[in-house]
Amino acid sequence: MTELLFLTDSYKKEISTRVTNAEQKGSAWELTLAETVFYPQGGGQPSDRGTIKGAKGTASVKHVRMDGAEVVHECTVEGTLVPGDRVTCSLDWPLRYRHMRLHSAGHVLHEAVISLYPDLVPLKGEHGDKPAITYRGSIPIGSIHDIMMKANALVAADLPITSELVSLDELQKRVAVLPPRLPKNKPLRIITIGDRPPTPDGGTQVAKTGEVGEITVSGITNTGDTVTVAYTINTREETEAAEEFIPVSQYIGMLLEAQANAKRVIEESTDPREILRIAVLGPKSELGKLTKRIRSIKPADRQQAGTVVNDVKASVERAIEERSLSVASRPEHPEAFDPTVPGLRPPEGHLHIVTQAIAEITEIFARIGFTRVRHPEVDWDWYAFESLNMPKNHPARDEWETFFVEHQKSKSKNQKFGQIVLTPHTSNGQVREMEKGKLPIRMINIATCYRRQSDISHTPMFHQFEGMYIDTNVSIGHLKGVFDYFVKQFFGPDRTIRLRPFHFQFTEPSFEVDINCGICLGSGKLADGAPCRLCKSGWLEMAGGGMIHPTVLKNGGIDPSRYSGFAFGWGVERAYMMKGGTKLDDIRLIYSNDIRFLEQF
């Protein structure tokens, strides 16, 4: 068992003792001694370094650790050191002394923190490379200053730090909070700062808080239910520099000279206010640097110097204000205020592209007597499917990947209405419009539609516009004419359509409508003979339509032997994207609300 001399005397730098064991580990050696001054890493304090000198060899100590009750010194050895050798141990004292100061600083800081926030529970301390204390609990933002003031007041009071070795019994009696783990291989020890309650501690400590020097709290981080208070202390050089005090009268003289210089700069400058302020008051300015040197004043005189610093800064601020006023009133100066300059226009938004398209489509159809109507977007199965000649089990229904709405079936309601759906197309407006009982019908029904699809060419919510014309003697010619009109109005005079036979349950005959491609105008080839990027074949698929099936007319209460009509349904998003000749890589972009995309339209 190694005797731990640092526990009772942190200032012992050198001892003479005996090697008790020496083991070679690769190219390194592990030495144990009868007693030691070397602090083994632990309790947040890094291990010591130094030398162990014998008659025939010298070890340079790189790292020290506790191994059971032994202190193991990890060394490189020149010459030989064997058990029984008498050796002289010397610490790397500047390093150890810094560790001691950092460690004591941690305890002083802890006293400051606890006196302000007594509910915090200390969890761990780190007094090496990144000194910090972690607590359970939290510290309000903005308390750095208070904590630092309290801690440095304890430093300034130069309180004694005393240590005592104690039994477990005594430890439990004397300390308020026991650490979660007590060392089993070290004697127990408590330290006391001034007359504050003792705390358990096994590290090395300076004798008086004044030796710690100024403590800076470099950050307070609240994370989850813990808070970490990071701190630093001055290096030896900084401490020594701080000890060379400047007499306060000399400091005030320097301040006044800096003030005069600053005012001269302000007087001659035509810079904008902020630049001027940085030049004369910023951290790199003469005054800024002097402000920092206030640390070189004896603490007792600092308040007096501080008052002068504040006065000087205020008067320089005033000079900047006055200067910018007189600069601004000179009209030839670029900073001058010109009341005739028009105001800045705040950025303007625009309607969503789909809203724009709906407005335009409505307007185009209005010109040929089609009235925009609205029908439910959550509707009965009857209107969405059944009345359109699509019985429940008809396979064609699979094309409309429908969302169903859960609802309590009401017995009173006519059984024929069936389930409730989010309308998968605008065709639910057909029978609903017929039921209004007014003929002829020229409607344009624009609404949101929903289908269980989401991929690069589908969004689960989209829009359709559904046209319907019912009158006596309506023919396919009318259908074709209306399509052609719309396409030329919406896409441009070069555009035309073609009808392709298709199948819908609710129209007979049925067609799919293609529009010639806006880039190759139907040829499928570009001027240089290369295939068109947009369409490949010259035609783009647009919409469905056809002559209304007699069953549908009947379901709407219209006599198919007297009346005929056509209906068609197109996708708004699809029509809009084709208009610009834009091939969207992903149609879902339209509803992603990415301003960078939407702004382009």
User: Which residues lie near ligand PHE (CB under 6 A)?
Assistant: 425, 427, 466, 504, 507, 544-546, 567-569
Dihedral sign for Cα 288, 289, 295, 300, please.
negative
Q: Closer to ligand PHE at the Cβ: 127 or 425?
A: 425
Using CA atoms, how far apart are residues 444 and 493, in angstroms rounded to an integer? Answer: 22
Rounded least distance, CB 561 to ligand PHE, Å: 21
Residue 13 CA: distances (Å) to CA of 35, 38, 92, 98, 381: 13, 9, 8, 13, 93
3-state helix, strand, coil in the chain (%, to 5): 35, 30, 35
Q: Which long-range contacts (CB under 8 A, 24 or more apart) does 395-398 make?
A: 396/503, 396/504, 396/505
Q: Closer to ligand PHE at the Cβ: 213 or 544?
A: 544
Residue 542 CA: distances (Å) to CA of 105, 200, 230, 448: 77, 81, 66, 17
**430 in helix, strand or coil?**
helix
Rounded least distance, CB 569 to ligand PHE, Å: 3
The structure tokens listed for 84 are: 């029984």
Q: Closer to ligand PHE at the Cβ: 73 or 425?
A: 425
Return phi, psi of residue 515, to 5°.
-120, 145
Rounded least distance, CB 559 to ligand PHE, Å: 20
Indicate the residue whose CB is closest to ligand PHE. Answer: 569
Report DSSP state, residue 244.
Answer: S
Q: Closer to ligand PHE at the Cβ: 32 or 427?
A: 427
Count of helices and strands (H, E) across the chain: 15, 25
In 3D, which of 46, 71, 318, 86 has the Cα closest to residue 204? 46
How many Cα atoms within 13 Å fall on the side-chain side of residue 343? Answer: 3
The structure tokens listed for 177 are: 């909070």
Q: Closer to ligand PHE at the Cβ: 17 or 464?
A: 464
Rounded least distance, CB 510 to ligand PHE, Å: 6
Rounded least distance, CB 138 to ligand PHE, Å: 58
Rounded least distance, CB 516 to ligand PHE, Å: 21
Rounded least distance, CB 520 to ligand PHE, Å: 26
How many CB atoms within 10 Å of residue 269? Answer: 17
Q: Closer to ligand PHE at the Cβ: 174 or 498?
A: 498
Q: Closer to ligand PHE at the Cβ: 338 or 455?
A: 455
Rounded least distance, CB 523 to ligand PHE, Å: 28
Rounded least distance, CB 425 to ligand PHE, Å: 3
| Contact call for residues 227 and 138 (beta carbons, < 8 A) | yes
Using CA atoms, how far apart are residues 471 and 560, in angstroms rounded to an integer? Answer: 10
| Contact call for residues 588 and 456 (beta carbons, < 8 A) | yes
Using CA atoms, how far apart are residues 411 and 596, in angstroms rounded to an integer? Answer: 51
Using CA atoms, how far apart are residues 545 and 524, in angstroms rounded to an integer? Answer: 24
Q: Closer to ligand PHE at the Cβ: 125 or 546?
A: 546
Q: Closer to ligand PHE at the Cβ: 72 or 567?
A: 567
Rounded least distance, CB 372 to ligand PHE, Å: 16
Q: Closer to ligand PHE at the Cβ: 192 or 430?
A: 430
Using CA atoms, how far apart are residues 263 and 317, in angstroms rounded to an integer? Answer: 10
